[in-house]
Chain A
């Protein structure tokens, strides 16, 4: 009797230990990944509140003796030449990203709907063309678009950026939105049409409201993409008052490479809008991104 109980007991502990082993390995791994992810970001924040002198000491001050917000004040001060530039870059980025987002959504919504619902000759070919666009790097399109922008007289304008950002924003938007439309039952539209609605009315009145989460997710995705875009802006813009943040920051600090706190503060400020947007709406966002790939 006792031996049976003992064996059972011993068996259970061993199994528990094994399960705990995996769980602890998992936790340890998560701690490692958290350090890998967070330490660089924390170090950016710590550096951004140092003085230029404190940042260039060895060994580094893990926490500044005299934390200061001077770098942020400088960047946000419209009276200061640094602040003037930074704020202008910020508004330029905001303008280009917003216009790109609105245009992508306006053009992509009907296209995605058509790809999801209609069958017309060339549908599959066109959709795969859209899908394949995401595989090609900006560099392939850069030389001809550079020439095209010169011919169109769009060099050094935000129009050149908006037009090119549509090239990667649109395919992505179409792909994401199609996933959403695929999940909205066709029967809803059919019911509306039996009640006398035209196909277009059914689309506007029934499908559009249901796909709002998808449209929001798509909008965030194109906004973040446009906000972070670098290579086209780097190539098409050369005048200081036109630059967007990623390029502006680079121009700005290549002249004064010793202002590390300023550079870190600028990197932080550039990340804030997209991170906030993402954190607020991450549910939609993650769903939209993974919908197409994980269906079984």
Chain B
């Protein structure tokens, strides 16, 4: 009997025990038929690329696409990266981009979810409208905002000039000091709806009795939020923040289309930098070494993600 009815049984079946792993695998051979197609696809397009990237990160390649003529150079690509100035600039940008986008998206999304939690006329329409930026393509979003920031015809510049706050429309994305914040605003525009959806779902699980009891005990709105609602949403918050952080760390389209990493690398983040190294300058070895470092960072984040998720499951099991 292989149908799992409970955690305990699952654990018992997973333990090879006396029969041995091979025998256990053999006994479950029919189960593998269900996952085999998925595993086959994943092996070709995931396992092989990871292996190839690691291999390539230890080689130097001639310019062009003659990757067969590579020469082994050990860890040289890694030292090249860590000693270059661009690396640290790009890492700093990535940090600001990831942390800024993640935290502000989360706070705005959470606050919107709270404000939408109470029922009122038009709530459904409002919610649907607020989600749309998340659904449309990042390419379209990039063009829309590029147009809004446009230094000659942009709407924000026009408003600033109209209010007398600026003599002429500022150059938002062609300026080293404003480009990153400007792109972060676009990114938040696309991402806060995700946090909003997650937190709205989370809010529905907060028991009403608990809130009412707190109210009877004289807790004000802020106290009720801080001592009842927020602790209850700890898990979903952690998962949401991690998912946002990973998505932001991996963003490509908005910086690539809006600025291509410029001006003078001011909006290059890791991903766009790797892309340029590989497909722009054809430095496949260095780009691969970057990818391996990226992989390690994401594995670390992934570890926390899995831990947060299994934290959820443990709770579910005990209740």
Residues of A within 8 A of B (CB): 18-19, 22-23, 26-27, 29-30, 33-34, 36-41, 43-44, 47, 55-60, 107-108, 110-111, 113-115, 117-124, 126, 128-145, 147-148, 150, 163-164, 166-167, 170-171, 174, 186, 189-190, 199, 224, 227-228, 230-231, 235, 245-246, 249-250, 253, 260, 263-264, 267-268, 270-271, 274-275, 278-279, 282, 286, 289-290, 292-296
Q: Could you tell me which residues of chain B, from 152 to 174, have a CB within 8 Å of some CB in chain A?
A: 152-153, 155, 158, 161-162, 169
CB-based contact A121/B21 at 8 Å: yes
Residue in A closest to B162 when the chains form the complex, CB atoms: A59
B4 touches A118 (CB 8 A): yes
Do B306 and A267 touch (CB < 8 A)?
no
Report the separation of the CA atoms of residues A111 and B236 in the bound assembly, to the nearest whole angstrom: 26
Interface-lining segment among B73-81, B84-92, B95-103, B135-143: B135-143
Residues of chain A within 8 A (CB-CB) of B138 are: 228, 230
Residues 8-61 (chain B) with a chain A CB within 8 angstroms: 9-10, 13-14, 16, 21, 24-25, 28, 31-35, 37-39, 41-42, 44-46, 48-50, 52-53, 56
B21 proximity list for chain A (CB < 8 A): 121
A60 touching B155 in the complex, CB below 8 Å, given contacts A107-B37, A118-B28, A143-B278: yes
In contact, B137 and A246 (Cβ under 8 angstroms): yes
Known pairs A58-B158, A119-B28, A143-B278 / 14 extra A-B pairs, C-beta < 8 Å: A34-B126, A39-B155, A58-B153, A119-B2, A120-B32, A139-B275, A224-B135, A228-B137, A231-B275, A250-B139, A263-B147, A289-B197, A293-B236, A294-B236
Main SS of chain B's interface residues?
A: helix
Query: Are the C-beta atoms of A294 and B111 separated by less than 8 Å?
Result: no
- Chain B residues contacting A274 (CB-CB under 8 Å) are 135-137
Residues of A within 8 A of B161 (CB): 59
Asked whether B288 is an interface residue with its Cβ less than 8 Å from the other chain, the reply is: yes
Shortest Cβ gap from A277 to chain B (Å): 8
**A107 with B38, Cβ < 8 A, contacts A117-B3, A121-B24, A133-B46 known:** yes
Q: In the complex, how many residues of chain B place their beta carbon closer than 8 angstroms to a beta carbon of chain A?
A: 111
- Given contact pairs A126-B39, A144-B53, A135 touches B298 in the complex (Cβ within 8 A): yes
Number of A-B contacts (CB under 8 A): 304
B209 contacts across to A, CB distance below 8 A? none
Are B48 and A186 touching (Cβ within 8 A)? no
Shortest Cβ distance from residue B207 to the other chain A in the assembled complex, whole angstroms: 10
Complex partner residue of B42 from A38, A129, A164, CB under 8 angstroms:
A129
Which 7 interchain pairs have the tightest Cβ spacing? A290-B201, A137-B250, A114-B34, A120-B28, A144-B49, A111-B38, A26-B115
A150 to B116, CA, bound (A): 50
Does chain A have a CB within 8 A of B179? no
Interface check B133, CB cutoff 8 A: yes
Residues of chain B contacted by A118 (CB below 8 angstroms):
2-4, 28, 31, 34
